[in-house]
Amino acid sequence: MKQMGSKLHIVILAAGIGKRMKSSRPKVLHELAGKPMLSHVVESAQALQPYRVCVVIGHGGEQIIDRFGSNDLIWVEQKPQLGTGHALLQALPELDEEGATLVLYGDVPLVRVETLSKLVQAGSGDKYAILTTALENPYGYGRIIRNEDTRAIKCIVEEKDATEAQRLVNEINTGIMYIPNRKLHIWLPKLNNDNAQKEYYLTDLIKMAVAENIPIVSAQPDYNWEILGVNSRAQMAELERIYQKENASKLLEDGVTLYDPSRIDIRGQLRCGSDVEIDVNCLFEGHVQLGNSVKIKANCVLKNVTVADGTVIQPFSHIENSAIGANCRIGPYSRIRPNTNLNDNVHIGNFVEIKQSVIAEGSKVNHLSYIGDTVMGSSVNVGAGTITCNYDGAHKHQTIIEDNVFIGSDTQLVAPVKISRGTTIGAGSTITKDTPENELTLSRAKQVTLTGWKRPSKQK
């Protein structure tokens, strides 16, 4: 997005206390879709490629700075909090005379970049631009008061200062506005708090603009949910649902099958190839990429995972920081922990845990096993209940299982150990030494039968 002429400054107001959240955490750090509300606003701000982004902080300011680090943001402190106009006044030294300022709110996280650029466009050429919208129930919002004949904006009145007649107006101030900096330098210091709330109202700038014949324009968001703010946990939950529903709609539009669009949660980014199917109650975190024709069955959690074409993840599987090859079959009830890399056609079955392991093509670990710190070749069959004993209480050790190995059920592989290609391990073995290629190796007491042995029975 090219900024026409003037430098785009963005000031995000985030100093409010957020009393109704009943939390020791500052409101803007509460998470929407897995990241702080303020992150959503900062990301939308940065998408506009602004010259400068300032964040006005007050309550819990240190916690906010800690959470964000430097991140190209300019932190401005507002203490005490005397109103939205007073908040912007604190940022005034950061606002270059040539520029214009877009005012955003740390607790209004869903506003779309498209809407913001529409507002900035509307305000180009030193106009004063306000984002307004019509609400069925405008209660609590500042009302946009227009000239009855020309429809020109005259002022904004806050709910608490409004007359009966003004309260009937349903065009409201979203709070988001775009103002030439040259004017801010003149107007902001002149604000007073002569109103019902004894606050310095940002909205009073409108009267000053009117008095100077500065053109005032408005733009509207495409959706009213964009302008919703968060003051309570209930509103937070409501916005979360809106956000998730929007994500789900985009996936459907992109050709993904969702068995129920109201039962998917994305906390991060989900990219899908063609003909992907996602069953109910799946959670995607971080960056997840699903190849063509991938099926994710019900109740799976995937975090920072890539899944190649044709793979099916059966219900209740949990996969994190891993790469899954093509045409694999995972689950149900599989747990794949970080740094695992599965090649194509691998099968991981129920109650199997894999950690930090590489498994080559066509190998199978189908039942009740733990495979950790392992490099496994291709076409290996790991029997039920096999465990790699990778931890000696102090250190982790590696297990190497070469191609075409067959491991009998209930085997322990005590690492470090190498199972050479073609090895067969007899069921119930505890293997502590490397095995020779293509031989049967087992470690197991010989089976004996005690003929005539009787079970003990209770004495009468």
Q: Is the CB of 48 or the CB of 88 nearer to ligand UD1?
A: 88
Q: Measured from the CB of residue 275, what is the shortest distance to ligand UD1 in angstroms? A: 43
> Which of residues 86 and 364 has its CB atom nearest to ligand UD1 in the complex?
86
Residues in region 421-450 near ligand UD1 by CB under 6 A: none
Our CB check for ligand UD1 shows the closer of 136 and 149 to be: 136
In whole angstroms, what is the distance from residue 371 CA to residue 109 CA? 42
When CB distances to ligand UD1 are compared, the closest residue is 142
Per CB under 6 A, does 55 bind ligand UD1? Answer: no
Give whichever of 85 and 99 is closer to ligand UD1, judged by the CB atom.
85
Q: How far apart are CA 115 and CA 119, in angstroms?
A: 6
Q: Answer whether 121's CB lies under 8 Å from 240's CB.
A: no
Encoded one letter per residue, x for contact with ligand UD1 by CB under 6 A and - for no contact, window 130-169 reads -----------xx-------------x-x-----------
Contact 9, 49 (CB under 8 A): no
- Kindly state whether residue 83 participates in binding ligand UD1, applying the rule CB under 6 A: yes
Give φ, ψ of 297 to 5 degrees: -80, 180
What's the rounded Cα separation, in Å, for the pair 240 and 243? 5
Stretch that binds ligand UD1, among 10-18, 120-128, 309-317, 386-394 (CB under 6 A): 10-18
Question: What does the alpha-carbon distance between residue 359 and residue 325 come to, in Å, rounded to a whole number?
Answer: 10
Applying CB under 6 A, among 8, 13, 153, 419 the residue interacting with ligand UD1 is 13
Which residues are known to be catalytic?
Answer: 367
Question: Mask: binding to ligand UD1, 227-256, rule CB under 6 A, as x and -?
Answer: --x---------------------------
Q: Shortest distance, CB of residue 145 to ligand UD1, whole angstroms?
A: 11
Q: How far is the CB of 166 from ligand UD1 (least distance, A)?
A: 12
Q: Is 202 in the site for ligand UD1 (CB under 6 A)?
A: yes
Cα–Cα distance measured from residue 236 to residue 374, given in angstroms and rounded to the nearest whole number:
43
81 contacts ligand UD1 (rule: CB under 6 A): yes
Specify the residue, 107 or 353, whose C-beta has the smaller distance to ligand UD1. Answer: 107
Binding site for ligand UD1 (CB under 6 A): 13-16, 56, 78, 81-84, 86-87, 105-107, 141-142, 156, 158, 172-175, 201-203, 229
